[in-house]
Chain A
């Protein structure tokens, strides 16, 4: 998967999270029912939460260390050879 696809996936997962944890969806699961010995809403919220974490971890692991920045790539083109990146920590 290339970096811009991962970026899109991250956006989608974020919106998925908002959708999962906002009222209309929560009300769907806010019922007098239980699953695995726990109220349905509790299983839903914690389960959805864990799934969201898993997806994010999966996407984060797909980004390799030397992935080019989608924006940075453009920036590099704009740079002349005379411009050097300063060190964040002097000498460090």
Chain B
């Protein structure tokens, strides 16, 4: 059995250890070695201040009474953290950018830095936190009595008093040592993180002991008789489940202490990323032990034992006193961490949102304040801490006989849930107004008080039993737990439903009806678009002036002499001044106001600045421009996207064009080397023969004439080649203009055949005319057209290796087109050469017959002419027609003259 002294000594020793942790890390942080204190792990552990003694003791009690219901309290926050990107990230960003010091500061700052709203939020927060703090006092007192076995009948409220007093001392010592430019408490955060580890280890240890030491395995736990009752499938997951999950998710955002650790104490936005999964994991681990302890407690401990204390009584019943002591310390940890952070958060709110504005407004006090604002803040915070704990203690005394821990906690949750509409609305809805937020908050708060807080005092002497059961003055419509006759089975669901509905409804309605004032609108835009708009441009909107001396005096009072000098010098440097005093322009005043807001809250900072600044105007034009700019930025980025797509397609086109150019360049090189080659052959023969003629005196005249003949032929060939090249280049560049006239293509064809007959006869090739039309009126240059025919025929003659070489010409008119065919029975053209033959210097036949000469430009020229006449010259696919092997079949297609086309068609059909 543990004596009260041992327990007390352990508790005091533990508190001393906490001091050490807090002190050392505060020291390190001040020395600039934040290191550990700003790691994402510490950040996450400090968030787990969420797990109070409600979790440590109450979860087991809740599980023993209501089964799985306790899980809602942890699933709600899990969901909020899983979706961290959408709400938490924005909250943290806003908190950092606007130097928010508490949730009251956030709401007031969003709604036009309203002092009245700040007061309202603060009052609600303090009142809602009271049952929560009472819960911790009750848990510590009860656990102390249980573990030291000092409990008589009923709770000893004296113990509770000393617990409260001890906590007040600790909180004052650590939470209010100084006023930072931003409300960060490295020492406290470190101590909280340490406590988070202690409570986790303690609860896991008890759980492990119960599962392995007592039951001997996890399946044994679930086969104990109470398991059937605790986890009965008859339990319905209904409105209460949904309400509790919603409340818990809300609480993780709205509880002043959660806001403090998550938003205000956040040192780096990236920490949130780790916390997004690590904090749910912490909650998960905390919950692991709950069910085994609850089931084993119900099975093994005597009937009527307090299930809230199973965590302690179970190890004690098994004679594990060391474990019981560890569990006590764990519970003590969870209670102290909650009370410390909650008191710090609440005291900051009270001092910044209530005391400061009053002090600034009272002229008599205002002068006193000019002495030392810091001192006023510290004193007011210390007093608030004492008062807050005192209120918690009073609530604890009044409700000492009633509720289980969980029920008390839920009252607090429902209270802070009233902040949700104003908070979320302020973050995402630009048009939300100060009036809407105030109306919603106030109505929600009243309904919450009436339906949840009032009934919790039932039987304590303040509220009579009949008030709750019959309603005030016997009006049953106004019964606190059944407003308007809604007989909800669950008072919590009932209260949350009415308060949140009314709150949200009024918030939206009043916001829609009311028009925003300028500052309200400015802050709304800055908050909602926090990821788009830089607050630092706030000075664009608010124009005011002040003397630098006034500003400096004021800054000194709040920031302290040294800090103020540093801030001023830094800004002067940024303005590019050599002096240590900056120009008191709008930008600097805005900067200073934000800095002060970190210490005294946005509303107070604004009041203080406006005491020394004059001529404040908020530029409406600038404000409208800001909204426009946001719109423009969105449009601009869309335009950019479109442009980049366009650029991409242009790039593809350019790449293709480049590729084509490269090919053309290669072709040109090819062409040049071909030309030189072609020119070189006749040139060298001319040269050699003329050399022979020059020194050969002994040549007979016949030989000489022969040589001269060769030279002559070669020069002719050379001239022809050059002519062809010129022709081609003119054709291709489009410089050559054809003499277009009305000609009969059939006539031209016949004339060309006649021209070729001589050549054909000498080559032994027979030229025949197949089916032909007599009339084919086209517009063309007759000479050029004839050149095409002659070229085709001469190729057919020259390269025909057949035994009975023959060339057949035919023509027809079809669909407004004139077609001329040149067939031969030669070797044909290899498939792979079909397109190549139309390029320059490509003699498809020459590979087979190298002795044959010709520049290989004929077909290229012919095709160019055909195209120039809007026609086409093609090599038709080999069809195997004609005798022997297929031979080649060229087709020239030319358009008929439009005017005559129809007449001709009629003539032709008449002829047939």
Contacts and interface: CB of A to CB of B under 8 A. Distances in A.
A55 B81 CA distance: 12
Among A42, A65, A73, which residue has the most Cβ atoms of chain B within 10 A? A42
Interface residues of A, number: 52
B900 to A, nearest CB: 66
Interface in A31-51: 31-32, 34, 37-39, 41-42, 45-46, 49-50
A77 B637 contact: yes
Contacts of A11: 83, 85-86
A91 B242 CA distance: 47
B46 to A, nearest CB: 18
B218 to A, nearest CB: 6
B566 A91 contact: yes
A85 B536 contact: yes
A39 B227 contact: yes
Interface string B269-288: 01001101110110010011
A71 B270 CA distance: 16
A49 B595 CA distance: 41
Contacts of A73: 637
Nearest to B533: A75
Contacts of A60: 273-274, 276-277
Given A34-B222, A42-B231, A90-B563, A74 B534 contact: no
B465 interface: no
Contacts of A46: 284, 287-288
Give the one of A30, A31, A91 with max B CB within 10 A.
Answer: A30
A78 interface: yes
B497 interface: no
A52 B277 CA distance: 9
Contacts of B280: 49, 52-53, 56
A37 B219 contact: yes
A74 B633 contact: yes
A5 interface: no
Interface in B483-539: 529, 531-534, 536-537
A50 B83 contact: no
B182 interface: yes
A78 B231 contact: no
Contacts of B236: 23, 27
A42 B227 CA distance: 11
A14 B86 contact: yes
B428 to A, nearest CB: 13
A55 to B, nearest CB: 8
A30 B237 contact: yes
Contact of B276 (A18, A56, A79): A56
Interface in B161-211: 181-182
Given A18-B79, A89-B181, A65 B270 contact: yes
Contact of A75 (B68, B270, B284, B532): B532
Contacts of A14: 79, 82-83, 86
Given A21-B79, A56-B280, A84 B536 contact: yes
B634 interface: yes
Interface string A60-92: 100101000111111101110001111011110
Contacts of B217: 37
A75 B312 CA distance: 55
A1 interface: no
Nearest to A10: B85
B96 interface: yes
Given A41-B68, A42-B231, A45-B68, A75 B531 contact: yes
B432 interface: no
A7 B85 contact: yes
B245 interface: yes
Interface centre among B83, B86, B288 (most CB of A within 10 A): B83
Contacts of A42: 68, 222, 231, 291
B405 to A, nearest CB: 22
Interface in A7-32: 7, 10-11, 13-14, 17-18, 21-23, 26-27, 30-32
Interface of A: 7, 10-11, 13-14, 17-18, 21-23, 26-27, 30-32, 34, 37-39, 41-42, 45-46, 49-50, 52-57, 60, 63, 65, 69-75, 77-79, 83-86, 88-91
19 contacts: A10-B85, A13-B83, A14-B79, A14-B83, A17-B83, A18-B79, A26-B237, A30-B233, A30-B235, A49-B284, A53-B78, A53-B280, A54-B277, A74-B637, A75-B533, A78-B630, A85-B536, A88-B182, A91-B570
Given A23-B237, A77-B636, 20 more contacts: A10-B82, A10-B84, A11-B85, A17-B79, A22-B242, A27-B237, A37-B217, A41-B68, A42-B68, A42-B231, A42-B291, A46-B288, A56-B82, A78-B532, A78-B533, A78-B630, A78-B633, A86-B536, A86-B594, A91-B570
Please give me the 4 A-B residue pairs with the lowest Cβ-Cβ distance, nearest first: A71-B531, A37-B219, A14-B83, A57-B277
